[in-house]
Amino acid sequence: MDFVIKGDIVYSRSPRELAVTENGWLVCANGCSQGVFTELPEQWKGLQVIDHSGKLVIPGLCDLHLHAPQYAFRGLHMDEQLLDWLQKYAFVEEGKFSDAAYARRAYGIFADQMRRSATTRAAIFATVHREATEILMDEMERSGLISVVGKVNMDRDAPAYLVEESAQRSAEETRAWLDCVAGKYSRTGPIITPRFIPSCTEALLSALGALVRDRGLPVQSHLSENPGEVELVCSLVPESKFYGDAYDRHHLFGSHGGAIMAHCVYSSEEEIELMRSRGVFVAHCPSSNINICSGIAPVRKYLDLGLRVGLGSDVAGGESESLFKEMRCAIAASKMYWKYVDGTAAPLTFPEVFWMATVSGGAFFGRVGSFEPGYAADIVVLDDAREPYPQKLDVAARLERCVYLSADKTAIVDKFVQGDRIAL
Amino acid sequence: MDFVIKGDIVYSRSPRELAVTENGWLVCANGCSQGVFTELPEQWKGLQVIDHSGKLVIPGLCDLHLHAPQYAFRGLHMDEQLLDWLQKYAFVEEGKFSDAAYARRAYGIFADQMRRSATTRAAIFATVHREATEILMDEMERSGLISVVGKVNMDRDAPAYLVEESAQRSAEETRAWLDCVAGKYSRTGPIITPRFIPSCTEALLSALGALVRDRGLPVQSHLSENPGEVELVCSLVPESKFYGDAYDRHHLFGSHGGAIMAHCVYSSEEEIELMRSRGVFVAHCPSSNINICSGIAPVRKYLDLGLRVGLGSDVAGGESESLFKEMRCAIAASKMYWKYVDGTAAPLTFPEVFWMATVSGGAFFGRVGSFEPGYAADIVVLDDAREPYPQKLDVAARLERCVYLSADKTAIVDKFVQGDRIAL
């Protein structure tokens, strides 16, 4: 469907600048933006006009990191740090996904809530279970969002009910899963997903690296999230120069296909430099980093160095799928970082976190997260009058306000992914 | 109206313990709780039963600190610290309340949103304007909430359009306001409100102290919020031993009538000891303290010392009136405090912040914030099924989840203040 949306249109022109067109026209054809105009150009006057006058029209948001099975316990169990939290809560919940009926129920809820959110693209962890992972992919496909989903690999350091019996078996399952989903979906693809170094033997990482090289697949994992975890990785892989090197030795760090590394709170200078040179995407997950007491990532430094940074809700370390909440939290976390860690690291601004949630993170998916011509027509429309105010506000202020008030829970009135309308 | 509510009932028994009654009966007569029962006692069987089976029934929340005029710019202007933020944003907006028509529109929105929130009691700052303050009191009375509202006093260090012309004139206006609202409302009362020390001359503080003594009124103000502010107070009142002493010298620090002091991020040991001995309520406002980069208050220490601590949304330093959001933020802030400031200060727990938002802060208003017999029947009912989940959760977990997911924006289905039902 080709169409034109009329409304108050905002997207990110750069980390520092919002492109705002009040009462503008956003033209969408062949699933892509044809640009934003103050007057509708003659050539597009035949298209259907969707009138969202007075409403905010923004690019759909990109969630670079979340765990679908953990959605069931979002907003709970924030009383432990990472390694204990995994053993006590996350692994226990993930174990339930050996049951396809439970997976269908839980993933049905998850995909339904993602459909209603401001997110249009996501990189998602499933569990080790092949059948449940396929169920998740079926549900995500049905949601209309575009996503990559990973069957998780873990062959050590997890409870017996969750750990895979060997590196070989884990790799075989992964290959079987890849074969099974190949060509099955139009919006949903696979991504290689070693959970993190503590869960994966060298043999497993090596087998996954071979898959990445052979099939040109992207990778997602965790990196330098928590001090205890970083120490554990050092002791598990003493031959690695740093945490990220333990992935890189097996071609799992952006050398073949794209890579998303979540967290990067404690990355060393060498690790940061390798991320930069390899174009690794940092999934910044401030809610999660605070909830499970990991710390605050040095995002100002990453932006200054030109790293690719997006946002991740990291459900269920993060309490919800809302990326509006995550933008607000990224600003808040950066203020505490400035206050208590590094007084030279200027707090993040609203335009910067909006850029991270849209076009910066969106680059993982291609030309996504902007309304410049040629970008995917991923669109979210917000009726911000649902949070009333007594005075006139300009368009940029209205958007900032929506983000601070988490209006993505209450004010989304229309949504498109690559030009396809999502039933809300 | 006397009645019984059937549902899953939770209140705070102590800072560490939730009192949970699944499928219980909460009996309300003469505006007060008569207790929570697992079986409805014979003597109450004639009362109307309001069936909220399967829903969460909790005490209404108490907001110890917010600025009604700033509600208009909630979620905006988070790019400055306190003193500049006041001059650039807060004072400019407050200046508009010299216009009664604007005040009526803005306060109408404010009171309407408060009515729909989980808050049942509030201590509210208005502006210096007498007429607008009365409009706010009219609106709050109509909302059904119980509140204290303060005409703000400030006779120095503010723009000409906002500052009162003299201490004497400020005090006269305050007396005239008090006379005018005396006996006018059943749910809304006055509270003496010197903005903060930098805005008030000694002469004004002295006159307000006399009013407090003569009329037995409570006081609300700000205390030790921001390093620059604390330094300014030192230079403005060099004869004070510490910031709080500048209030105390004029009987504005809990020596006569109750007192609420917002923030207390940088209170000295002497100041803390005086707050403790005087029973001053600390309004902990973590969202605001982070948004405008003030810092994180040492709440664990205040709890250990037995200070009276409640929560304040501090709209619009805080971005919204949601006290669920404030509870979540209090936990998050305490984790960063533990991580980056004091590794011996254990992070706050969910039962502790729920206690602060209910019975601890509620004590400012009397027997409020609990369902123990004799406490006011301030009740909020939440339909937490609106945030679906696939597994069985116990009642306490369901409440924690609601708080983390800010379900006060979407899931409130019934609300009572002192036994009176609020039209939602």
Query: HSE-up of B402 (CA within 13 Å, CB side)?
Result: 29
Contact residues for B281 (Cβ-Cβ < 8 A; gap 6+): B64, B258, B259, B260, B261, B308, B309, B310, B361, B363, B364
Q: What is the DSSP string of A374-413?
A: TSB--EEEE-GGGS--SS---HHHHHHHHHHTTGGGT-EE
Chain A residues with CB-CB distance to B401 below 8 A: 74-76
Alpha-carbon distance B337 to A109, whole Å? 35
Chain B interface mutation, best of A70, A74, A76, highest count of B Cβ atoms under 10 Å: A76
Q: Which residues pair with A413 in a beta bridge?
A: none
Best CA proximity match to B140, nearest among B163, B99, B112: B112
Which pLDDT score is estimated for B41?
Answer: 98
Within an 8 Å CB–CB cutoff, is residue A115 touching chain B? no
Alpha-carbon distance B144 to B139, whole Å? 9
Alpha-carbon distance B62 to B39, whole Å? 29
Structure tokens at B98: 């010299």
Which residue of B lies nearest to A72 if distances are taken between CA atoms? B389
Structure tokens at A186: 């139009």
Chain B residues with CB-CB distance to A401 below 8 A: 74-76
Tell if the CB–CB gap between A75 and B341 is shorter than 8 Å.
no
Which pLDDT score is estimated for A257?
Answer: 87
| Mean pLDDT along residues B13-33 | 98
Tell if the CB–CB gap between B76 and A401 is shorter than 8 Å.
yes
Chain B interface mutation, best of A77, A329, A339, A386, highest count of B Cβ atoms under 10 Å: A339
Contact residues for A235 (Cβ-Cβ < 8 A; gap 6+): none
Query: HSE-up of B359 (CA within 13 Å, CB side)?
Result: 20
Which residue of B lies nearest to A296 if distances are taken between CA atoms? B336
Phi and psi torsions of A403, nearest 5°: -65, -50
Within an 8 Å CB–CB cutoff, is residue B336 touching chain A? yes
pTM attached to this predicted model = 0.98
Within an 8 Å CB–CB cutoff, is residue B386 touching chain A? no
Tell if the CB–CB gap between A328 and B339 is shorter than 8 Å.
no
Within an 8 Å CB–CB cutoff, is residue A176 touching chain B? no
| Mean pLDDT along residues B147-175 | 97
Exposure letters A128-145 (e unless 16+ CB within 10 A, then b): bbbbbbbbbbbbbbebbb
pLDDT over 90 (residue B165): yes
Is residue A291 within 8 Å of A318, Cβ to Cβ? yes
The total number of residues shown for chain B amounts to: 424
Tell if the CB–CB gap between A76 and B106 is shorter than 8 Å.
no
Tell if the CB–CB gap between A340 and B336 is shorter than 8 Å.
yes
Which residue of A lies nearest to B320 if distances are taken between CA atoms? A405
Which pLDDT score is estimated for A1?
Answer: 84
Chain B residues with CB-CB distance to A72 below 8 A: 389-391
pLDDT over 90 (residue B1): no
The total number of residues shown for chain A amounts to: 424
| Mean pLDDT along residues B387-391 | 94
Number of CB pairs, chain A paired with chain B, less than 8 A apart? 114
**In this structure, how many other beta carbons lie within 10 angstroms of the beta carbon of residue A176?**
12
Tell if the CB–CB gap between B400 and A75 is shorter than 8 Å.
yes
Within an 8 Å CB–CB cutoff, is residue A389 touching chain B? yes
Which of A78, A109, A341 lies at the smallest CB-CB distance from B390?
A109
SS3 A331: helix
Tell if the CB–CB gap between B405 and A349 is shorter than 8 Å.
no
Alpha-carbon distance B404 to A405, whole Å? 14
Q: At what angle do helices A323-340 and B323-340 cross, to 10 degrees?
A: 40
Alpha-carbon distance B54 to A2, whole Å? 46
Best CA proximity match to A138, nearest among A102, A186, A176, A98: A186
Q: What is the DSSP string of A203-254?
A: HHHHHHHHHHHHHT--EEEEES--HHHHHHHHHH-TTSSSHHHHHHTTT-SS
Which residue of B lies nearest to A319 if distances are taken between CA atoms? B404
Q: Which residues of B126-245 form beta strands (DSSP E)?
A: 146-150, 152-153, 188-190, 193-194, 219-223
Is the alpha carbon torsion for B235, B239, B241, B243 positive or negative? negative
Contact residues for A42 (Cβ-Cβ < 8 A; gap 6+): none
Within an 8 Å CB–CB cutoff, is residue B276 touching chain A? no
Alpha-carbon distance A364 to A63, whole Å? 10
Residue A92's alpha-carbon distances to A88, A127, A139, in angstroms, are 7, 11, 22
Tell if the CB–CB gap between A75 and B401 is shorter than 8 Å.
yes
Alpha-carbon distance B278 to B165, whole Å? 32
Which regions in chain A score pLDDT beneath 70? none
Tell if the CB–CB gap between A295 and B402 is shorter than 8 Å.
no
Which residue of B lies nearest to A108 if distances are taken between CA atoms? B390
Which pLDDT score is estimated for A19?
Answer: 98
Structure tokens at B235: 């230079």
Alpha-carbon distance B175 to B169, whole Å? 10
Tell if the CB–CB gap between B402 and A75 is shorter than 8 Å.
yes
Best CA proximity match to B339, nearest among A153, A415, A249, A265: A265
pLDDT over 90 (residue B257): no
Structure tokens at B41: 């006692």
Which residue of B lies nearest to A341 if distances are taken between CA atoms? B340
Best CA proximity match to B141, nearest among B167, B105, B114: B114
Within an 8 Å CB–CB cutoff, is residue B349 touching chain A? yes
Which pLDDT score is estimated for A172?
Answer: 98
Within an 8 Å CB–CB cutoff, is residue A405 touching chain B? yes
Alpha-carbon distance B48 to B28, whole Å? 10
Q: Which residues pair with A51 in a beta bridge?
A: A6
The helix (run of H) or strand (run of E) holding residue B28 is strand B17-29
Question: Nearest C-alpha of chain B: how many angstroms from A307?
Answer: 24
